[in-house]
Amino acid sequence: MKYLIILHFALLISHCLVAQWEWQNPLPQNNHLYEVFFSDADHGWAVGRSGAILSTSDGGQNWSFSNIESIPLIRGVWFSDPLNGWVAGGAGWIMHTSNGGANWARQYDGPSGWLRYMHFSDETHGWAVGSLVDGKGTILHTSDGINWSLQESGVDVALNSVHFVNNSVGWIVNNAGTILHTQDGGVTWLPQSSGTTEGLWDISFIDMITGWIVGNNGTILYTSDGGTTWAFQESGTTERLFGVQFLDENNGWTTGGETGVVLHTTDGGLNWISQDCPTEWQYGGIFFTSLTEGWVVGYDGAMIHTSDGGMTWDRERTGTVQSLHGVDFTDIDNGWAVGMEGVILSTTNGGETWTEQNSTVTNWLEIVDFIDPERGWAAGEFGNILNTTDGGNTWSVQYQDESSWWIGLHMYDEQYGWTCGTGGNILHTADGGNLWNMQSSGTGKILYDLFFVDLAHGYAVGDSGTIIHTSNGGMTWEPQESGVDTTLESVYFTDPDNGWVVGVAGTLLHTLDGGNTWMYDSLGIYNNLRDVWFSDPLNGWISGNGGRVFYTDDGGENWYLQGFIHTKELYSICFTDQDNGWAVGDMGTMQHTGNGGMVGIKQKNLPGSELLCQSYPNPARGISDFRFQISEYQHVILKIFDLQGKEIVTLADEKLPAGNHQYTWNAGGLPAGIYFYRMTANYQSASGKIILTR
């Protein structure tokens, strides 16, 4: 069996061609947002976790989403005009666009800490600051908008923000209350006395002498002499303040707080007034384009807007934020999602819009299953089993048992169905749910999912590697040997012989004989896998934590990590065909693909942007070489694991230059059998199988 693993790394990353997965809820998205910037009244950008970049060209009436997967966090953004801009984040990632964000090119890949902020004084002179590199706070500088180099900070703490009033004069703040000042463009940085040891997070100057700094514990500092002296201003809060902006000597705003704080002053900070704003989020970045129009962004995709200087703030993010645990579609138009506090959402247009339905319960709903657009069931906490015969316009309770929690549900047709959950309990109906009868599973383990190939043959999976099977519709259940002791969360069969099971710690099992034997496979990760779904015998998907979705187009021979747009847990995934699919998860996350989640035909990597890793020979007699090519300088980790997932050896754990590389594995003394290799580079990972013979 030959495994070919391809990881994609591109110096130029295209985002506005053909999407893989797109947001459907909440909108525009729910990644943490750290910074917002407008180049004029119409053109703005917000950046955050998972490489998220939001952009607007109509003053924020509409926002579009894209992301740079290679950067786990984007903390800084700056545009000199609607076309030319930069973002900064991750470990030294600085990207540039000349077309408003349609394409991004990396400008710097040298030594750096994690970048936290960036600022430009004009269209070519910029600075980015961040955590430690070689024991000192990172300062990167460009004087041509293209080439970046390190400046010496002289301090051994992370740097949080930077602000320049021209190409020469600027300030930096850090976590220890330190203020650094330069008058020569950063060639030399000298400390200024802040009078505090509180962490300082942001800076705003309106000229060379007048400025403000904000930080922890409600700290606001003010200077009228370029920082020679700094005075405290009374903020009226003890919340951490992350962002500050002044438009003139009188009018300014600061924002932060664990539960959302926006303060405003009209007298240069002599008095700060708390503004009425949504308080369910932690706020960070702030940007005003005028005395009336302003934006604030924060955690979980928080985005609020004012058009009256902050007298009123409106939520810009829409949709539920209740965690969703189950999703099901009967066709490309009609679908339902269920989750926390009894929430049920429905759509009749493929998820373009979602409507909340009245479930009649307020407890968790774990799973939903429809057999056609009218008839469906949902199950969950307190033993609730709900039924609808009109597409969810009305739901009624068919069964309830406060001692039970149903997690898995499979309705084979309008009459026959099964549900499973805590205590190893399994219920069965043969009349559409009018009566639900208990079946003896033979186990007391929690059962998380079940699947029936036909009315006789079914499987259920659960805690401690539990797999049970029935060949008589559940009248009796027999255990099958899984070979693992991890929690198994989902099971799916494409025919009576071929089935898959996924679970925690990256567990992936496959059977070719109806479960008589289960083979352990590997995706090269040890994160939890939550759900598995096949649209046909060849095309399948697995969802899990970290926003990961894996895809196979050859019946599980190879699995590929698809591009991800967030890091939320994805609990459930379903497809109506090999193109149209949906996945749901934490914080109301709902994503959709119309092309199987794969890169569209128009979206291509540049030549040399693929990393190819192969083991040779495979099968191997004791010694095998691992050969791969990388297109840029990056940290590569290559490890070998046995069939139980135990690490055998680390072959590589170092930063490597672009080019071809080879590592040799000497497996002398190890027994013959199946082993796995996992390779990670720049926050992406993949794995392959290697067979050792004697």
Dump pLDDT digits (tens) for 462-487: 999 999 999 999 999 999 999 999 99
Q: Which amino acid is at 321?
A: V
Residue 457, pLDDT > 90, answer: yes
Does residue 26 lie in a domain region? no
User: What average pLDDT does the chain have?
Assistant: 91
Q: What pLDDT score was predicted for residue 226?
A: 98
pLDDT digits (tens, 9 = 90+) for 150-162: 999 999 999 999 9
337 and 193: one domain? Answer: no
502 and 651: one domain? Answer: no
Does residue 303 lie in a domain region? yes
Quote the domain boundaries for residue 462: 324-593
**Cα(208)–Cα(182) distance, integer angstroms:** 11
**Cα(566)–Cα(586) distance, integer angstroms:** 11
Structure pTM? 0.83
585 and 497: one domain? Answer: yes
Residue 53, pLDDT > 70, answer: yes
Under the banding of pLDDT at 50, 70 and 90, the label for residue 604 is: very low
Q: How do 273-274 and 261-265 pair as beta strands?
A: antiparallel
Under the banding of pLDDT at 50, 70 and 90, the label for residue 182 is: very high
Residue 29, pLDDT > 70, answer: yes
288 and 361: one domain? Answer: no
221 and 360: one domain? Answer: no
Residue 664, pLDDT > 70, answer: yes
**Cα(209)–Cα(206) distance, integer angstroms:** 8
Average pLDDT of the segment spanning 309-335: 97
Extended strands (E) in 617-656:
623-630, 634-641, 647-656
Under the banding of pLDDT at 50, 70 and 90, the label for residue 1 is: very low
Q: What pLDDT score was predicted for residue 395?
A: 98
What's the CATH code of the domain at 98? Answer: 2.130.10.10
Average pLDDT of the segment spanning 597-605: 41
215 and 290: one domain? Answer: yes
582: its two tokens: 């949906």
395 and 504: one domain? Answer: yes
Q: Which helix (H) or strand (E) holds 437?
A: strand 437-439
215 and 273: one domain? Answer: yes
Torsion (CA) 234, 235, 237, 239 in degrees, nearest 10:
-120
394 and 463: one domain? Answer: yes
Residue 677, pLDDT > 90, answer: no
Choice among 186-190, 459-463, 503-507, 623-627 with the minimum mean pLDDT: 623-627
Q: What pLDDT score was predicted for residue 645?
A: 63
565 and 659: one domain? Answer: no
Triad 343, 344, 346: Cα angle to 5°: 145
Average pLDDT of the segment spanning 272-300: 96
Q: What pLDDT score was predicted for residue 678?
A: 77
Residue 9, pLDDT > 70, answer: no
**Cα(303)–Cα(298) distance, integer angstroms:** 7
Does residue 344 lie in a domain region? yes
Residue 611, pLDDT > 90, answer: no
Q: What percent of the chain has pLDDT over 90?
A: 80
What's the CATH code of the domain at 677? Answer: 2.60.40.1930
Average pLDDT of the segment spanning 520-539: 90
Q: What pLDDT score was predicted for residue 485?
A: 95
DSSP structure class, residue 474: T
Does residue 385 lie in a domain region? yes
360 and 270: one domain? Answer: no
**Cα(321)–Cα(539) distance, integer angstroms:** 30
Q: How far is CA 491 from the centre of its chain?
A: 24
Q: Which residues contact 75 (CB under 8 A, 6 or more apart)?
A: 34, 35, 47, 88, 89, 114, 115, 116, 117, 130
Cβ burial 48-78 (10 Å sphere, 16+ → b, else e): bbbbbbbbbeebbeebebbbbbbbbbbbbbb
Q: How many domains does the chain have?
A: 3
Q: What percent of the chain has pLDDT over 70?
A: 94
Q: How far is CA 280 from the centre of its chain?
A: 20
Under the banding of pLDDT at 50, 70 and 90, the label for residue 625 is: confident
Residues 30 and 589: beta-carbon distance below 8 Å: yes
Does residue 598 lie in a domain region? no
Does residue 8 lie in a domain region? no
Domain boundary among 542, 558, 593: 593
Neighbours of 694 (CB within 10 A): 9
Residues 264 and 285: beta-carbon distance below 8 Å: no
> What is the DSSP annotation of 67-111?
E-TT-SBEEEEEESSSS-EEEEETBTEEEEESSTTSEEEEEE-SS
Q: What pLDDT score was predicted for residue 612?
A: 53
Average pLDDT of the segment spanning 275-287: 95
Phi-psi region of 194 (alpha: psi -120 to 50; beta: other; left: phi over 0): alpha
**Cα(320)–Cα(343) distance, integer angstroms:** 9
**Cα(491)–Cα(368) distance, integer angstroms:** 15
Between these two residues, 657 and 385, which has the higher pLDDT value? 385
Domain boundary among 282, 315, 348: 315
Average pLDDT of the segment spanning 37-58: 97
Q: How far is CA 604 from the centre of its chain?
A: 23
CB-neighbour burial class of residue 156 (10 A; exposed 0-12, middle 13-18, buried 19+):
exposed
**Cα(159)–Cα(136) distance, integer angstroms:** 9
* CA distance to 466, 540, 597, per residue, from 574 (Å): 23, 10, 12
Under the banding of pLDDT at 50, 70 and 90, the label for residue 669 is: confident
Domain boundary among 255, 282, 315: 315
304 and 345: one domain? Answer: no
Q: What pLDDT score was predicted for residue 236?
A: 97
Residue 512, pLDDT > 70, answer: yes
Residues 76 and 89: beta-carbon distance below 8 Å: yes
Residue 122, pLDDT > 80, answer: yes
**Cα(491)–Cα(262) distance, integer angstroms:** 48
Q: What pLDDT score was predicted for residue 225?
A: 98
Q: What pLDDT score was predicted for residue 626?
A: 87
